[in-house]
Amino acid sequence: MDTLHLSRHISSQFNEEIEQIRNHVMAMGGLVEQQLHQALQAIANADSDKAQRVIDNDRQVNDWELKIDHECTRIIAKRQPAASDLRLVMTILKTIADLERIGDETRRIAKVALESFNTQQQDLLVNLDNLGRHVWQMLHDVLDAFARMDIEAALSVYKEDKRVDREYEAITRQLMTYMIEDPRSIPKVMNVLWSARSLERIGDRCKNLSEYIIYLVKGKVVRHSNESELERNARS
Amino acid sequence: MDTLHLSRHISSQFNEEIEQIRNHVMAMGGLVEQQLHQALQAIANADSDKAQRVIDNDRQVNDWELKIDHECTRIIAKRQPAASDLRLVMTILKTIADLERIGDETRRIAKVALESFNTQQQDLLVNLDNLGRHVWQMLHDVLDAFARMDIEAALSVYKEDKRVDREYEAITRQLMTYMIEDPRSIPKVMNVLWSARSLERIGDRCKNLSEYIIYLVKGKVVRHSNESELERNARS
């Protein structure tokens, strides 16, 4: 029996299947990115219909996660991938879990926006504008880094999260002064604060995604390490 | 070659290894439960040292996650488990990811508590008491359900999350009235609100854990399904 040929054959089938899964992850990522973009647009234009569509479409994000999860389990059972291939599949599983949670946060943002429109309390949502664009750019960049397995791009998303955190803290302080100056604004300010928090969490998850890319390319676990450790590992 | 014997042999080695992984998940769960308990005690007694210990010990939770993650990948690569065994390993991976995030939320709660003690603003933290105990009980019960693979216990945790959500909303409303009545209290009320949110998120994650148990026992994906669908699936 030509084992080498057989293994090459299996490996090429594995490659085809994993390529399809990777394409599905890109499609899921594209949908999540679009959802966030639409939610931010809904806020910018006080567009209730758009916010409602974002809420409705979250089901599609969930469906993608279940589908890709199933595909990954199937490829492991059927192809019994070796170390590095298995690492790829395991990392895709983590990636889609984070994408799904970004979808959840986006749905929360759309829900809060819709509530604000319905009660004519949308004026303060404009405070989310810069943070929203910043986080959306992070998501865009990390998906791009995933598509190209680009470790430098992943590192730069990883570092960007600190700037997002600072921006989030500045917004929080700003919004608290509104509340102190005009206590009647408290309920509507709270809504903006929750959405700012959701955006900040999306930034955290983009950072997770960037860690997975570094892990995939370098084969080193970088989760729970600090920035300088991570940078050293990524560039070594 | 005695394939049957061989497969029994492999399967028994798999069983031993998976049993060890399960024990590690229980140990990690026990640590996370203890962390939450200590954080709540730190709040009840305004105990800075205890809050600091919770923050420091989160590293141990992270180490457990990395260790078990590694063990799971290794058992898949080495033992190439079949469908139902693979399902178990995949579900353990999801379980430890949620446990790790419960650890993160607990660290956040301890951090906020420590800040409040340092600035003598701890008086409102007492509002977290009931919600904290409720969520801690959920975590305790779902870990118990995991140990015994008890589907009825998992279902009851799943349902408990709705009550936690309602309790969280009541606290939010209550705290907003404090802010409106006394705007100077806003910064310290905000801290309590963030911690309440963290507790509510821990409840969500306990609900995730209960879904995994139902999935493991019934072999049906119940994520993203509603309560009546889930109950039908769990009991069918």
Q: Do B186 and A176 touch (CB under 8 A)?
A: yes
- End-to-end CA distance of chain A: give it in Å, rounded: 41
Q: Do A180 and B190 touch (CB under 8 A)?
A: no
Q: Residues B183-214: pLDDT tens digits?
A: 888 888 988 999 999 999 999 999 999 999 99
Residues A129, A150: Cα–Cα separation, whole Å? 28
Q: What pLDDT sits at residue B89?
A: 94
| ipTM computed for the complex | 0.83
Which of A93, A181, A182, A224 should we substitute to test contact with B (largest number of B Cβ atoms within 10 Å)? Answer: A224
Contact A166, A53 (CB under 8 A): no
Residue with tokens 């664009």: A133
Max CA separation in chain B (angstroms): 81
Residue A166: Cβ within 10 Å count: 10
A81 min Cα distance to partner chain B (Å):
7
Q: CB burial class (10 A; 0-12, 13-18, 19+) of residue A22?
A: middle
Per-residue model confidence as pLDDT tens for chain B (236 residues): 334 445 555 678 888 999 999 999 999 999 999 999 999 999 999 999 999 999 999 999 999 999 999 999 999 999 888 878 898 999 999 999 999 999 999 999 999 999 988 887 778 888 899 999 999 999 999 999 999 999 999 999 999 999 999 999 999 999 988 988 888 888 889 889 999 999 999 999 999 999 999 988 887 666 777 778 778 777 77
Q: Do A224 and B176 touch (CB under 8 A)?
A: no
For residue B201, give both structure tokens: 């998120």
**How would residue A4 be classed by pLDDT, with cut points 50, 70 and 90?**
very low
A130 min Cα distance to partner chain B (Å):
23
* Set of chain B residues whose Cβ sits within 8 Å of the Cβ of A90: 73, 93
Q: Do A86 and B93 touch (CB under 8 A)?
A: no
Q: Do A66 and B176 touch (CB under 8 A)?
A: no
Buried b (16+ CB within 10 A) or exposed e, A44-82: beebeebbbebbebbeebbebbeebbebbbebbbebbbe
Residues A14, A4: Cα–Cα separation, whole Å? 15
Identify residues of A whose CB sits under 8 angstroms from chain B CBs.
59, 62-63, 65-66, 70, 73, 76-77, 80, 82-83, 86-87, 90, 93-94, 97, 172, 176, 179-180, 183-184, 186-187, 190, 193, 197, 221, 223-224
* Set of chain B residues whose Cβ sits within 8 Å of the Cβ of A77: 82-83, 86
From residue B192, how far is each of B58, B126, B188 by CA, in Å? 21, 9, 7
Q: Do B176 and A197 touch (CB under 8 A)?
A: no
What's the domain count of chain A? 1
Contact A58, A104 (CB under 8 A): yes
Q: Residues A187-214: pLDDT tens digits?
A: 889 889 999 999 999 999 999 999 999 9
Q: Residues A97-114: pLDDT tens digits?
A: 999 999 999 999 999 999
Helices (H) and strands (E) in chain B, counts: 7, 0
A195 min Cα distance to partner chain B (Å):
13
In the predicted model, what is the mean pLDDT of chain A?
Answer: 90
Residues A103, B109: Cα–Cα separation, whole Å? 25
**How would residue A221 be classed by pLDDT, with cut points 50, 70 and 90?**
low
Q: Residues A29-78: pLDDT tens digits?
A: 999 999 999 999 999 999 999 999 999 999 999 999 999 999 999 999 99
Query: H helices of B45-128, where?
Result: 48-79, 83-118
Q: What range does the domain containing B195 cover?
A: 3-235
Q: What pLDDT sits at residue A74?
A: 92
From residue B35, how far is each of A7, B110, B121, B170 by CA, in Å? 48, 9, 22, 25
A85 min Cα distance to partner chain B (Å):
10
Q: What pLDDT sits at residue A211?
A: 95
Which residue from A129, A136, A192, A144 is spatially nearest to A160, judged by alpha carbons?
A: A136
Q: Do A86 and B77 touch (CB under 8 A)?
A: yes
- Which CATH number is A186's domain given? 1.20.58.220
Residues B218, B234: Cα–Cα separation, whole Å? 7
| Residues in CB range of B190: below 8 A, 6 or more apart | A172, A176, A193
Identify residues of B whose CB sits under 8 angstroms from chain A CBs.
59, 62-63, 65-66, 70, 73, 76-77, 80, 82-83, 86-87, 90, 93-94, 97, 172, 176, 179-180, 183-184, 186-187, 190, 193, 197, 221, 223-224
For residue B209, give both structure tokens: 């854990």
Q: Do B77 and A66 touch (CB under 8 A)?
A: no
User: Hey, is A19 helix, strand or coil?
Assistant: helix
Q: What pLDDT sits at residue A70?
A: 94
**At residue A103, what is the residue type?**
G
Contact B37, B106 (CB under 8 A): no
Residue A104: Cβ within 10 Å count: 17
For residue B57, give both structure tokens: 């010990």
Give the residue on A whose Cα is nearest the Cα of B60: A224
